[in-house]
A and B are shown apart, each in its own frame.
Chain A
Amino acid sequence: MAASKRKRGGEGPADKKGKKGKFVVNKGEAQVETEQASRNEVLVPAPVSMGKWTNKERVLIFSSRGINFRTRHLMQDLRTMMPHSKADTKMDRKDKLFVVNEVCEIKNCNKCLFFEAKKKQDLYMWISSCPHGPSAKFLVQNIHTLAELKMTGNCLKGSRPLLSFDPKFDKEPQYALLKELFTQTFSTPRYHPKSQPFVDHVYTFSIADNRIWFRNYQIIEEDASLVEIGPRFVLNLIKIFQGSFGGPTLYENPNFRSPNLHRRELRLAAAAKVREKQMVKELQKIKRKEAKEDVDEDVTADVFVTPNEEKPVHIQTEPPAPKVVKKNKHKAFKRQRMQRGRR
């Protein structure tokens, strides 16, 4: 049962009379900023009423065909997290990529997150600024969605996030460009009508192992104790283009290895191992079948020859003493045991 949505910009429900504090009858434009300060206030005005929404960012989030459930959930999670996003139907793979620009124009969006699934295994993500801006293509790995039970945090739907970047983003020009792109795409504009006025979660972008790691944490306490909300994924940069979904390449990642190549390498390595083993076996067979030399004389036969000492010849005149035969007392038992066993 979802929590009932609180009416924003109007009076709160009647049972709130118990709370002390003044009732603000109407959208308190004048008391804009002081509203949140007083916790006992019943009414929290709508975001737009507090100020004009000027930063018109709209992000179009959609995908191509052939995505699997995890990608679909990731997309849905991103749409939940970003109130300034719009959804669209799946794009046919027959269309070329620059069609995406037109779709964005139709929807009046100026940023785009496009997920492309290849071979039902690899997921590529395009992030671009739609009319003319730069775009980047990533390979997405290690996707964990909001619905995973290990992510115990929760946040308001549509609340504005804090963005946290690794200092490595400032070191190199391609990362600086990516940082700007992420900032403009992921940050919810202020006073967006669907946003919530509180800041209660933080996105972290970090660079490790030449990849960009994305995490989403909920801020619990003022002393910065965090709990992960999700989703989380890892982006492996492939290329940055000057135009949107096309245009001259500005940057190519030298550390990127296409997943196909990676799989091929693995397969070749396995094949090479098998072939090596086979070759070794064949060689052994050949060796075995080779005509072996018969050696008549062993050169080393005399090495350990030591003549033994002469013993006096002993002639037996008396018969040898009879050996003491120990009576086997357990024979009966054994027979009984065997009979019992047979039975």
Chain B
Amino acid sequence: MIRFEVTFGVRPSHFHDAWLEHIQHVNTQAYTATPKNVCSTTCFRSASRHFLSTRPASYMPTMESAEEESLHDQSSEEEASELSDGELQEAFSKGLLKPGMNVLAEKNKTFVNNVVGLKQCLADFRKDLPWVERLDMTNLPAEGVLSKPEEKVPAGINRELDADDDFQREMFFYRQGQATVLEALPLLKVHNIATKRPDDYFAEMAKSDQQMQKIRQKLITKQMILERSEKAKKLREQRKFGKKVQIDVIQKRQKEKKAMMSAVKKYQKGMTDKLDFLEGDQKAAKNSSDALKKAVTKKGPNAKRKYKDQKFGFGGKKSGKKWNTKESFNDVSSFRAKMAHDKGARRGKGGKKNKRPGKSVRRKMKGRS
């Protein structure tokens, strides 16, 4: 019983005729079929025409399973249900098809390599010119003067140059060119061929001056961008550092102020009668009014500031007048302890003339008078 088994979705349409010639019979014992692909009865796999001209050996249909590939490197299995039963029966009767697994084995695609022909051709074609005419050299890449560790020099013949490693590859080509130049220069000197062009020799160059200008501009802009980014990075670092320092200083000052205030309060309350807290300062303040120093910078306003005040008066930025400065903030001379603790006599609002009595009182007074 002949059964078809379709394994692929790809149905090449040109497998119709002339398949009879290219069927190979494979011994069932030799071909160990995988359970997936073999049915219990002899399964006939249709053969297809060899298409040698279009398919190189290396091309395998991607639908093949890995197991099949491993079994037959060169064979491919195609299914075409277009082949009718009748045709297959015919072939079977003719004796072209034998029972067992019939597998299409692709003919090995041989690539022409006519070594003799090549050598012959070369011998005919070669022109024996003196070296001066040809200026060709064959050499391995030169070793760098400072052989950098990044350049993994492929040991010439032994290791294959990796075409994907861009840097290594380009360095290889560069070194090859260098080796050629190093070898060729003395030879050129011998033949009196110059390599250095005199400074006043103006001639047409392969690239126009305009092009060279463009290239130069590009290099310059690249350089500038690099420099700018470097500068910006440095500045950022500096600012971060500067900010840290500023914060530290402010915190220290706040701590000091707090300590001073608490020490002063303690003294006021009479808890300590020592004026140790003023050790750091020069003034010895007893009263609360004179308790704290008024920070006076000896320099006073800046010379520049003085000049500007002189020139422009005290105009200019007025908006800053209502802000605290270092001095005004540290100035606690207007601190009245009694007021702060609600003990001083209220003079402010009640200080003016006696309060006007209320309406009812006034009416009564009016009534009385």
B111:A202 contact, CB within 8 angstroms: no
The reply on B146 being an interface residue by CB < 8 A is no
Q: Residues of B contacting A167 with CB < 8 Å? A: 138-140, 156-157
B139:A3 contact, CB within 8 angstroms: no
Q: How far is the CA of A217 from the CA of B174 in the complex (A)?
A: 8
A134:B121 contact, CB within 8 angstroms: yes
B173:A206 contact, CB within 8 angstroms: yes
Majority-rule SS of A interface residues: mixed
Q: How far is the CA of A42 from the CA of B164 in the complex (A)?
A: 49
A37:B194 contact, CB within 8 angstroms: yes
Q: Residues of B contacting A166 with CB < 8 Å? A: 138, 176
The reply on B76 being an interface residue by CB < 8 A is no
The reply on A6 being an interface residue by CB < 8 A is yes
The reply on B248 being an interface residue by CB < 8 A is no
Q: Residues of B contacting A5 with CB < 8 Å? A: 202-204
Q: Residues of B contacting A209 with CB < 8 Å? A: 161, 163-164
A202:B118 contact, CB within 8 angstroms: no
Most buried by A among B56, B59, B197: B197
Residues of B188-203 contacting chain A, CB below 8 A:
188, 192-203
Smallest distance from the beta carbon of B124 to chain A beta carbons, Å? 8
**Knowing A197-B193, A272-B63 touch, does A39 contact B199 (C-beta < 8 A)?**
yes
Smallest distance from the beta carbon of A239 to chain B beta carbons, Å? 8
A155:B205 contact, CB within 8 angstroms: yes
B207:A202 contact, CB within 8 angstroms: no
B137:A164 contact, CB within 8 angstroms: yes
Q: How far is the CA of A40 from the CA of B200 in the complex (A)?
A: 8
Which of A36, A42, A146, A251 sits near B112, CB closer than 8 Å?
A251
The reply on A280 being an interface residue by CB < 8 A is no
Interface window among A99-107, A172-180, A288-296: A172-180
B215:A152 contact, CB within 8 angstroms: yes
Which of A40, A156, A183, A254 sits near B205, CB closer than 8 Å?
A156
The reply on B9 being an interface residue by CB < 8 A is yes
When each residue 218-230 of chain B gets 1 if its CB lies under 8 Å from chain A and 0 otherwise, what string results?
Answer: 1100000000000
Q: How far is the CA of A336 from the CA of B182 in the complex (A)?
A: 87
B134:A252 contact, CB within 8 angstroms: no
Which of A176, A199, A249, A268 sits near B122, CB closer than 8 Å?
A176
Q: How far is the CA of A156 from the CA of B200 in the complex (A)?
A: 13
When each residue 141-155 of chain A gets 1 if its CB lies under 8 Å from chain B and 0 otherwise, what string results?
Answer: 000001101011011
A226:B111 contact, CB within 8 angstroms: no
A198:B197 contact, CB within 8 angstroms: yes
Q: How far is the CA of A34 from the CA of B173 in the complex (A)?
A: 33
**Knowing A173-B118, A198-B197 touch, does A3 contact B205 (C-beta < 8 A)?**
yes
* 4 other A-B residue contacts (CB within 8 Å) besides A3-B204, A162-B181: A167-B156, A181-B125, A206-B172, A224-B181
Give residues in A with beta carbon < 8 Å to B: 1-6, 12, 16, 19, 33-34, 36-37, 39-42, 44, 55, 80-81, 129, 133-134, 146-147, 149, 151-152, 154-158, 160-167, 169-170, 173-174, 176-177, 179-181, 183-184, 187, 189-190, 196-200, 202, 204, 206, 208-209, 211, 213, 215, 217, 219, 222, 224-226, 229, 239-240, 242, 248-254, 257, 261, 265, 268-269, 272, 275
Q: Could you jot down 14 A-B contacts, CB within 8 Å? A: A3-B204, A39-B196, A44-B201, A55-B133, A149-B218, A164-B136, A184-B127, A187-B133, A198-B193, A200-B197, A208-B162, A224-B181, A253-B111, A272-B62
